[in-house]
Amino acid sequence: MRAMPRTLAAAGLLALATTAGVAFADTQVGQPLPPPPDQLYGDLFVAVQTAQIYPDQKTFVDATPNAAPAAIVQAYEQQKNQPGFSLAAFVNQYFTPPGEPVITPPANQTLREHIDWLWPALTRTTTSAPPYSSLIPLPKPYVVPGGRFREGYYWDTYFTMLGLQEAGHEDLVDDMLDNFAYMIDTFGHIPNGNRTYYLDRSQPPFFSYMVELAANQEGGKVYQKYLPQLRKEYAYWMQGETGTAPGAATRNVVVMPDHTVLNRYWDELDTPRDESYLEDVQTAQQATGRPASDVYRDLRATAESGWDFSSRWFGDNQTLATIRTTSIVPVDLNSLMFHLELTIARGCGESLDFRCVGEFVGRAAKRAIGINHYLWNPKGYYGDYDWQLGKPRDNQTAAMLYPLFAGAAWPDRAQKTIQAARNVLVQPGGLVTTTYNTGQQWDAPNGWAPLQWIAIQGMKRYGASDTAQQIGLRFLSDVKGVYASEQKLVEKYVVEGAGTGGGGGGEYPLQDGFGWTNGVTLKLLDLYAPGQ
């Protein structure tokens, strides 16, 4: 198909948008959102993602349509069977792909100077979104991770906030807290990220830690301010608690045979992810003997976990097609829920609602018992539990340190877990994510900044400051090495062996920027290398 002159093409698009009878205006904060791209474009969406028009499946779902989606779909149906039709040319005509931000720092910055320089470079203000964009507008500024991650992410933000607060940007900490409160009030939960295709799931619930971070600086009134949203988030994660039979699960809730209530990762949908459509279809095709919808649900649930993807969730510890995330009670999620319960109790105390204090202290106590019953591996470490198979998962991962981070660990078990981490996870470049090398990014040989911080804080809490410092200094050395050679901070790092550097594996190339690495690195510099 011969491309139209730009002016004629624009006029045609305007006519199509008008004849479709659909308003074509920016979406403002608080206005109804369009459906996600797979629903907006139907067969066109499938065709574009299957044909790999863009190398990264996320590019198309972040693109902006140049006309109303109904008009674009109408044009596609009219043209797709015509001789010489080019899908790539059609997409190029009707969509504007997201711009790739170029980060060009000044020369000869120290690592600390570079991180300080990056904060404004990674800050976005999007109180409106282009018409039919997948971007969800937010009322306040926020910091994005960087690279292909052009929007804010839930659990990333806590670790970014650590660095922002350390650098004196308390205003941005408060802004992002307000954004999350807005999303809880608007959607009932904090989505994976502020994109319409992320609305069907959340991410590890770090909102209570964000509130605590701000309260440490600003006082107890912060707990009271965000108490309504803390309670709403808790209600989201606990949907189905009262009506679920022992030995069964509803959404994010798992009720164990002894009536202990724990949580799992979950997603409302059982279809391929918009941003990884083709990868998910191919994985489902490899998962013989299972309905594709079950595989899609597990893939989506893993995206909610933040560990997408890892041997943690694989039935055979090796192969993505054996994924069974919804069958697993994760140790990290339940540790975070324990902290959320205690934080609600703290907020209720600030509000002088002592009945609520009693309820949530009691809930936290029951969860701690559940963690130490089900999420303790008799081999000597905290870990995940397969509730459908009725047994612990024998997979030692960095998640074992979450009960220490949250304070839910029994002291003797904390010491055994620290020793297990020393034995198998502490590597020359920091803490490795798992003991399996599967080619997935949340496995060996990679280490991730947030998991270093969880481990360091958990170990310090239980008296292992020397090991914490060892991990911190080794990871810092890895970060400094990559910065010295490439002048950037990246999403993940290789921590095994002598040749440490930028990490790899997974569905996309290594990204740089990078929000949570910047935040954790700044904290580690001040903890273990002040003056550098």
pLDDT computed for residue 104 by the predictor: 86
Active site residue 308: yes
pLDDT number for residue 9: 38
pLDDT at site 136: 98
What integer pLDDT is reported at residue 499 of this predicted model?
65
Q: Where does 20-153 have alpha helices with state H?
A: 37-41, 43-50, 57-62, 69-79, 87-94, 111-121
For 233-245, write each residue's pLDDT tens digit: 999 999 999 999 9
- Looking at residue 288, the DSSP 8-state letter turns out to be T
Q: Are 154 and 192 in contact (CB under 8 A)?
A: yes
Q: Which of 166, 332, 443, 491 is catalytic?
A: 491
155 among the known binding-site residues? Answer: yes
Q: Could you please report the per-residue DSSP string of 260-288? A: -EEE----S--S--GGGHHHHHHHHHHST
Asked if 404 and 461 touch (Cβ cutoff 8 Å), the reply is yes
Three-class SS state of 131: coil
- Residue 488 CA to residue 518 CA, distance in Å, equals 10
345: its two tokens: 């109790």
Residues of the chain where predicted confidence (pLDDT) is lower than 70: 1-23, 499
Q: Which two tokens stand for residue 18?
A: 């008008």
Return d(Cα 305, Cα 10) in angstroms, integer: 42
On whether 84 is known to bind a ligand per the annotation, the reply is: no
66 marked ligand binding residue = no
Collapse the DSSP code of 391 into the 3-class scheme (helix H, G, I; strand E, B; otherwise coil) and give the result: strand
316 is catalytic: no
State both tokens at 180.
Answer: 């999350």
Helix, strand, or coil here: 385? strand
Give tens-digit pLDDT for 162-207.
999 999 999 999 999 999 999 999 999 999 999 999 999 999 999 9
355 is in an annotated binding site: no
Catalytic annotation, pick one of 308, 350, 384, 443:
308
Tell whether residue 119 is among the known ligand binding residues. Answer: no
Cα end-to-end distance, the chain, whole Å: 59
Angstrom distance (rounded) from CA 176 to CA 174: 5
Query: Rounded CA gap, 513 and 314, in Å?
Result: 30
252 labeled part of a ligand binding site: no
The predicted pLDDT at position 20 comes to 42
Q: Is 174 annotated as a binding residue?
A: no
